Chain A
């Protein structure tokens, strides 16, 4: 059985205890909402997209350490990136979480997000880690609609 250290890496606990980019953004920023019906975790992602670039992002909601730290690390990773790169990162992350088929695009760097790789060993927690990313993808769709 994998140990707790495999799941709760130090950087994950750091993002859980000191979440980055918490809060909300006023319109015209878009807002997307995600729920994990299994455990009741809720997340809101606010995205400011200007000229094809995510210029600002905020996270609200509540959930377990994995869902919250994943959201926090995601917010830090996507801020300032253009929309194509953000989508590529979403895809790469979901590939790491083993919920997207195919060869990963290794040209996309995960950086700190690699700390979440251990989640895969705890299959019931994958949904927690991916919640923010699915919500982000929905936010991108709304912003481009």
Chain B
């Protein structure tokens, strides 16, 4: 089936908004994505007609609400090719999913002197929880360096992984757009006897995902970056690993019995879902997965690749040496996230001028300060494209950038 970006755009109500008579040019989807009508309607309709508690009450409405909630789990499992729906755990966000892994799996399996391997392109969410555990337990954290092109430098990976217990890495950099060779990295981790944890936040919304083909052990990802609502994150993990792990948060829903002497855990995945979940948002996420599935993730990736090629060519062609684009120029190993430095204009000021044209980009450190230090920058401008962006929007970005240059570099 063909991919028609105009048809996609028509599905997203916010994209027809005009501010000061000018269209919205939303280039911040690596931060959070916009929502299609079907997601908005699913949530509204559920609240109007079907809302009730999940997994708790016996009446009809509650049973229906539970079915809707659980249907999303099945859709998500299929979307990433998990073995079963019980391998999908809902969390507050992907950050919580990573914290769950670190606290529950790491807390039970890591001890003084144990090594965990991270990469130099991780988001703070895949750094700080490990550092917190490392401080408590005396863990060693090792870092996979990057090449000048912003790819992982895997030349010394075997040595770094030697004796390590876990390798936790992003499938796609939220700053450089680099797409990492996940299956190879997982294989390297397993050869060393380490568990492989994948941060899928940036990759899952933008390309097909197959956790079984990767042979990974864990993957954290988020709803709000994949046209779903905020307030839900997801953890996928192998069932046998989840079974062996202690629970994360304690409370209602995650127990099978509680006595004054103690408690026993519920079956998966309830064991990791303490308290009332984001019921409405999970229903919305189900509609988001339906939406992306209908379009086809291979089509999403192909479209974004085309927009990225155009954006890279336009930025370089127009600004030459006045622009430094971080990361690889090769569209086969990068996604649609483009971070850059423009002349000597501070990213905050660039973004301010762009905002006058309704061009929404992120200016800052993108929650990846170790990477920023490596790039020698306090901040970058980041334009990130998604299935609803067009090559023409990359041209609007260029026009607005030219104006920022005129304004600040007299």
Q: What residues of chain A have their CB less than 8 Å away from a CB belonging to chain B? A: 1, 3-4, 7-8, 13, 38-42, 62-66, 122, 125, 128
Contacts and interface: CB of A to CB of B under 8 A. Distances in A.
A39 B364 contact: yes
Interface in B348-369: 348-349, 352-353, 356, 363-365, 369
A42 B364 contact: no
A90 to B, nearest CB: 23
B17 to A, nearest CB: 14
B349 A1 contact: no
Interface string B6-44: 000000000000011000000000000000000000000
A61 to B, nearest CB: 9
Given A39-B363, A40-B365, A41-B378, A122 B352 contact: yes
Contact of B349 (A3, A62, A64): A64
Contacts of B348: 39, 41, 63-66, 125, 128
B379 A65 contact: no
B125 to A, nearest CB: 15
A1 B358 CA distance: 11
A4 B352 contact: yes
7 contacts: A1-B356, A13-B408, A39-B378, A41-B348, A63-B348, A65-B346, A65-B349
A65 B408 contact: yes
Nearest to B19: A1
Contacts, number: 47
A38 B367 CA distance: 9
Nearest to B356: A4
Interface residues of B, number: 18
B71 interface: no
B372 to A, nearest CB: 7
A7 B404 CA distance: 14
B263 interface: no
Contacts of B378: 39-42, 62-63
Contact of B379 (A4, A8, A39): A39
A40 B369 contact: yes
A39 B363 CA distance: 7
B365 A125 contact: no
Interface string B189-210: 0000000000000000000000
A42 B347 CA distance: 14
A125 B364 contact: no
Contacts of A38: 364
B408 A4 contact: no
B407 interface: yes
Please name the 4 residue pairs, one residue from A and one from B, whose CB atoms are nearest each other, closest first: A64-B348, A64-B346, A40-B378, A40-B365
B371 to A, nearest CB: 12
Contacts of B20: 1
B407 A4 contact: yes
Contacts of A3: 356
Interface in B323-365: 346-349, 352-353, 356, 363-365
Nearest to B358: A1
A40 B379 CA distance: 6
Nearest to B367: A37
Given A39-B365, A65-B346, A7 B379 contact: no
A4 B352 CA distance: 8
Nearest to A61: B378
Nearest to A68: B346
A4 B353 contact: yes
B208 to A, nearest CB: 34
A45 B20 CA distance: 40
Contacts of B364: 38-40
A53 B19 CA distance: 50
A40 B372 contact: yes
Nearest to A128: B348
A67 to B, nearest CB: 8
A125 B363 contact: no
Interface string B395-410: 0000000000001100
A65 B408 CA distance: 9
Interface string B128-155: 0000000000000000000000000000
Given A3-B356, A40-B364, 16 more contacts: A1-B20, A4-B352, A4-B356, A4-B407, A39-B347, A39-B348, A39-B363, A39-B379, A40-B369, A40-B372, A40-B378, A63-B378, A64-B346, A64-B349, A65-B346, A66-B348
